[in-house]
């Protein structure tokens, strides 16, 4: 196989077109690749597709022939599937999930390349139990955290198979044990903790939640779990929102201005993307941030006292002042 980072996605596109009976040739394949990545500078020649076809025939016994009337390639056996040796179903599932987590953790361009490999594995192994939509409902940001294996396995199976679960859940805010019937739509790895985001079907105790409420639950707070016989349809809008980073519904501040000094001026622009103004006479710098979560801003001011000042909005500045007053009251010496 040519050593080119576009080879795998090109081969997968070629296989996809063959399976769809689209009679790919080099202009059609080039057009399809450009459609997949508008910014990509793709140039596919007749020799390129001939080399790809020869590779698939030699390495994977692909039954590919050329139809001169339709000026493209086709499969003489439409049931042919490409298979990669050495991966059992269990290992294949593990590989797919590991690739998905790696994809979400790595920045571009590696994120895109891992995504292409993930697509290649899925298309190469049609028997994989983990579908594309299932993988999208696995959202990963953070690092590993210990958790009860038996509970996590049941959680994972229910998420993967779209099975309703009944759980005893310890709510952190008041220590109350809740009896919940729950649809686990999204499995999220966020800030070193596994979460389930989904829909409450039933709650047997007073919780402030009602049926059909969308909630986020920490998996490590599940004390017992039971899979039920009921299934559900995954909410794709909920999945898409989580993939945009909307895992929780924390209050947002908008049109923020921070005055930064010292290390605050170093870390501020990294944590809160925005517009950083040139240094003023006292060497402080103003950072204008369109939007950020309130709790992150307040924690940032506490992390670097004297080096981070919330200039606006006024209500957020007041919250920072109130928090400082309470800290002073509790820590008075």
Q: How many CB atoms lie within 10 A of CB 99?
A: 19
Q: Give the burial string for 223-241 (b: 16+ CB within 10 Å, else e).
A: eebeeeeeebebbeebbeb
Q: What is the per-residue pLDDT for 125? A: 53
Contacts of residue 229, defined as CB under 8 A and 6 or more positions apart, other chains included, come to none
CA end-to-end span of the chain: 71
Contact between residue 200 and residue 180 where contact means Cβ atoms under 8 Å apart: yes
CB 65 within 8 A of CB 73: yes
Token reading at 85 = 């040796």
The answer to whether 59 and 15 have CB atoms below 8 angstroms apart is no
**pLDDT on residue 139:** 63
CATH code of 149-243, in short, is 2.30.30
Per-residue tokens: 237: 């809008």
Q: Which pLDDT score, from 0 to 100, does residue 213 have?
A: 87
Backbone angles phi, psi at 146, to 5 degrees: -65, 145
pLDDT of residue 13: 82
DSSP three-state, residue 217: strand
Averages of pLDDT over each 10 residues, the chain, 333 residues: 61 85 89 66 80 89 93 90 55 62 59 63 54 61 64 88 94 87 88 85 66 85 93 89 77 94 93 93 94 92 93 96 92 84
Asked whether the whole model's pTM tops 0.75, one would answer: no
Q: What is the pLDDT of residue 199?
A: 93
The predicted structure's pLDDT at residue 33: 80
Rounded to 5°, angle at Cα 206 from 204 and 212: 65
Is residue 278 within 8 Å of residue 285, measured between CB atoms? yes
Residue 188: the pLDDT is 82
């Amino acid at each position: 196989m040519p050593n080119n980072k576009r080879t795998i996605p090109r081969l997968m596109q070629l296989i996809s077109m063959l399976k769809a009976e689209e009679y790919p040739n080099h202009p059609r394949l080039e057009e399809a690749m450009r459609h997949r990545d508008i910014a990509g500078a793709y140039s596919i020649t007749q020799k390129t597709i001939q080399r790809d076809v020869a590779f698939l025939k030699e390495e994977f016994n692909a039954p590919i022939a050329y139809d001169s009337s339709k000026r493209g390639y086709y499969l003489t056996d439409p049931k042919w599937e490409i298979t990669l040796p050495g991966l059992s179903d269990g290992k294949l599932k593990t590989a797919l999930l590991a690739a998905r987590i790696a994809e979400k953790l790595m920045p571009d361009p590696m994120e895109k390349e891992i995504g292409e490999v993930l697509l290649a594995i899925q298309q190469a192994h049609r028997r994989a139990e983990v579908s594309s939509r299932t993988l999208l409902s696995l959202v990963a940001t953070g690092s590993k955290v210990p958790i009860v294996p038996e509970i996590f396995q049941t959680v994972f199976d229910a998420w993967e198979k779209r099975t309703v679960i009944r759980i005893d859940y310890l709510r952190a805010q008041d220590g109350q044990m809740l009896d919940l019937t729950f649809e686990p739509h999204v499995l999220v790895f966020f800030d070193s903790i596994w979460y389930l985001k989904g829909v409450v079907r039933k709650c047997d105790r007073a919780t402030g939640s009602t049926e059909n409420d969308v909630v986020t639950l920490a998996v490590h707070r599940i004390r017992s779990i039971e899979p039920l016989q009921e299934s559900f349809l995954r909410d794709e809008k909920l999945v898409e929102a989580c993939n945009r980073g909307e895992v929780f519904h924390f209050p947002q501040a908008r049109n923020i201005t921070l005055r930064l000094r010292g290390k605050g001026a170093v870390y501020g622009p990294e944590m809160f993307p925005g517009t950083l103004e040139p240094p003023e006479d006292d060497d402080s710098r103003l950072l204008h941030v369109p939007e950020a979560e309130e709790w992150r801003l307040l924690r940032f001011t506490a992390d670097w006292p004297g080096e981070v000042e919330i200039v606006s909005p006024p209500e957020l500045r007041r919250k920072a002042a109130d928090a400082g007053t309470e800290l002073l009251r509790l820590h008075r010496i």
